[in-house]
Amino acid sequence: MSFLSKFQPVFIILSALAGIALGKLIPILQTYAGNCVDFFLICMLFFVFLNVKIKEISKSFSNLRFSISALIINFIFTPLFTFVLSKLFIPGQIDLQIGFIMLMVTPCTDWYLIFTGAAKGNVPLGASILPLNLILQIVLLPVYLRLFMSTHISFELNIIFMSILFVLIIPLAAANALKFAIRKVKRSDISERILKYVDDIQFVLLCLAIISMFASQGILLLDNASLFITLLPMLLLFFAAVFCLSFFTGKALSMPFSSIIPLIFTTSARNSPVSLAIASILFPLQPVISLTLVMGPLIELPVLAINSMLLKWMGTRRGAS
């Protein structure tokens, strides 16, 4: 295990704090840092897809137990559970409810694969659900908002579609183009050198995305720090419930432990960067919505990193036994 992998939670928290500090010390960064989030995530996904074989994705997608379980948890259980949490913990706080719902009903399409890989889970299997997660969240996000927040919400579906699709298509196409070029020139040594450091590169890019995210919204976060306390119990309850539900669902369906790992991460990780970009377009005059989406990763990323280390330890114990 590399130094970066060993101390993932520490670096994630330090990245968030560094982003807030940079935004405070260099105010101009607040204007431009938000534009860097998608760039770093796109670069990160590029290296993720370098490490995944398309043929393996197509084979792993035939695992209906995994796919159906992930879809039911992501698009039936999670929206209903999110709605109940919002009504119990933040009744009457409309903007906060909108932000919380947008955060929770959009499954991650990028960094959950990094945490899956760090936990030694089945990355191709986890990646196989990505296209469905992407398409369904685009289609269902307006449905959930209409269903749960039926008053005073209006937006264009094509804006949501293009903003999310952009984050996926570019790295996928670029990664496969590079792999095709390497095969053509018959230089497998180049591929081996890249893959040797791909995990650390992914994590560095993830940290840069976090720094950019918090540099762009850190001042707003500091001015409304009390909202963090409001969101904390809801998010912790969500992550605990989904972890247990996914773990025991995988066990009940006799999934290998390496398949349970991506099930846990694809149902736990949320698409906060993309949701933030969408919220800034759809709700520019409602900063609490964006603030909620900024606070989400501050809790989510350390939890995912800890889960990754826990699952890796559990996998090692299983292998030893």
Which pLDDT does position 239 carry in this prediction?
96
At 107, give phi and psi (nearest 5°): -65, 150
Q: Is 230 left (phi over 0), alpha (psi -120 to 50) or beta?
A: alpha
Please state the separation of Cα 317 from the chain's center in Å: 27
Identify whether the C-beta of residue 9 lies closer than 8 Å to the C-beta of residue 303. Answer: no
Identify whether the C-beta of residue 217 lies closer than 8 Å to the C-beta of residue 66. Answer: no
Which pLDDT does position 69 carry in this prediction?
95
Q: How far apart are CA 321 and CA 317, in angstroms?
A: 6
Question: Residue 181: which residues within 8 A CB-CB, separation 6 or more?
Answer: none
Identify whether the C-beta of residue 49 lies closer than 8 Å to the C-beta of residue 108. Answer: no
Q: How far apart are CA 200 and CA 184, in angstroms?
A: 27
Q: Kindly give the confidence (pLDDT) of every residue in the chain, 321 residues in length, as a single tens digit, with 9 standing for 90 and above.
A: 555 656 666 777 788 889 888 888 888 887 788 778 778 877 877 887 776 666 656 666 678 899 999 999 999 999 999 999 999 999 988 889 999 999 999 998 767 888 898 898 998 888 888 878 877 887 788 788 888 887 767 666 566 566 656 666 777 788 888 877 877 776 666 666 666 677 778 778 878 888 888 888 777 777 777 888 899 999 999 999 999 999 999 999 999 999 999 999 999 999 876 677 677 667 767 778 878 887 888 788 889 989 999 999 998 887 655
Identify whether the C-beta of residue 224 lies closer than 8 Å to the C-beta of residue 32. Answer: no
DSSP category for residue 75: I
pTM for this structure?
A: 0.75
Sign of CA dihedral 207, 241, 140, 90: negative
Identify whether the C-beta of residue 86 lies closer than 8 Å to the C-beta of residue 100. Answer: yes
Query: Domain 3-316: which topology?
Result: Na+/H+ antiporter like fold (1.20.1530)
Burial 120-158 (b: 16+ CB within 10 A, else e): bbbbbbbbbbbebbbebbbebbbebbeebbeeeeeeeee
Helices (H), 107-197: 112-118, 123-128, 130-148, 157-185, 188-196
Short-list 148, 138, 146, CA closest to 90: 148
At 13, give phi and psi (nearest 5°): -65, -45
Residue found under tokens 């230089």 = 187
Q: What is the pLDDT of residues 113-144, one digit of tens each?
A: 888 988 989 988 888 888 788 778 877 887 88
Q: How far apart are CA 12 and CA 7, in angstroms?
A: 9
Which pLDDT does position 79 carry in this prediction?
96
Q: How many CA atoms lie within 13 A of 229 on its CB side?
A: 4
